[in-house]
């Protein structure tokens, strides 16, 4: 199964996601050493993705494993503290602002930085901005914080030819499509990364 999963990662990476990043490149500031996307989130992982991430984890040094285990322990303590907001945390696999399991990271991780949309149970869609828009990074030149969305006026002013596009990057869409069916991939249950650890 993991071999077929690697084939799938290759396919979505080299075709679908590469195309999205290329089309949106004028709105993106992603570069090596930037880890904002991994510093505050929930990181949904399916069972299959988690099994793959564990292959990367097992290959780490004892020192790195120790850092990750300590982070997991602290995140679980923090998670128990009552809060009205959704619990967000730094990814335990992030060490010194780098993903320690980069080759084995989840599918959601591979989409970090792009504008995307989610659809609720009633079928209504709404766009979601990458976290770093508020840091003056991705899409910030076309984002109107007063209305909380992309502004057509700012886009026109930016002079960028390709329009800002929100893609369907939900875990359901990425883990259940014609390619995953053809490869007979069973992703299993999806839940927040910390719940797998």
Chain residues binding ligand SF4 by CB under 6 A are 38, 43, 91, 93-94, 99, 101, 105-106, 109
Q: Which is nearer to ligand SF4, 109 or 150 (CB)?
A: 109
Q: Which is nearer to ligand SF4, 33 or 82 (CB)?
A: 33
Instruction: Decide: helix, strand or coil at residue 119.
Output: strand
Q: CA 43 to CA 187: how far, in whole Å? A: 15
Q: CA 123 to CA 79: how far, in whole Å? A: 30
Task: Count Cβ atoms within 10 A of the Cβ of residue 92 and give its class: 0-12 exposed, 13-18 middle, 19 or more buried.
Answer: buried
List, in order, residues 6 or more apart from 16 with CB less than 8 Å away.
Answer: none
Q: For the CB of residue 72, give the shortest distance to ligand SF4 in the complex, in Å.
A: 12
Q: For the CB of residue 120, give the shortest distance to ligand SF4 in the complex, in Å.
A: 24
Q: Which is nearer to ligand SF4, 106 or 164 (CB)?
A: 106
Q: For the CB of residue 99, give the shortest distance to ligand SF4 in the complex, in Å.
A: 3
Q: For the CB of residue 52, give the shortest distance to ligand SF4 in the complex, in Å.
A: 11
């Amino acid at each position: 199964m993991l071999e077929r999963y690697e084939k799938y990662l290759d396919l979505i990476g080299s075709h679908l996601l590469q195309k999205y990043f290329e089309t949106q490149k004028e709105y993106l500031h992603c570069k090596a050493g930037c880890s904002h996307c991994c510093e505050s989130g929930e990181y949904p992982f399916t069972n299959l993705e988690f099994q793959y991430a564990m292959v990367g984890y097992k290959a780490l040094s004892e020192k790195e494993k120790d850092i990750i285990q300590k982070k997991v322990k602290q995140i679980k303590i923090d998670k128990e503290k009552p809060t009205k907001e959704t619990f967000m945390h730094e990814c335990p696999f992030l060490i010194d602002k780098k993903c320690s399991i980069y080759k084995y990271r989840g599918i959601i991780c591979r989409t970090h930085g792009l504008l995307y949309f989610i659809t609720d149970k009633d079928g209504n869609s709404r766009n979601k901005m990458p976290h770093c828009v508020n840091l003056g990074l991705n899409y910030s030149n076309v984002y109107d914080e007063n209305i909380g969305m992309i502004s057509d006026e700012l886009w026109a002013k930016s002079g960028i030819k390709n329009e800002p596009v929100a893609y369907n990057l939900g875990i359901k869409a990425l883990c259940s499509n014609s390619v995953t069916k053809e490869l007979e991939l069973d992703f299993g249950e999806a839940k927040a990364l910390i719940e797998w650890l």
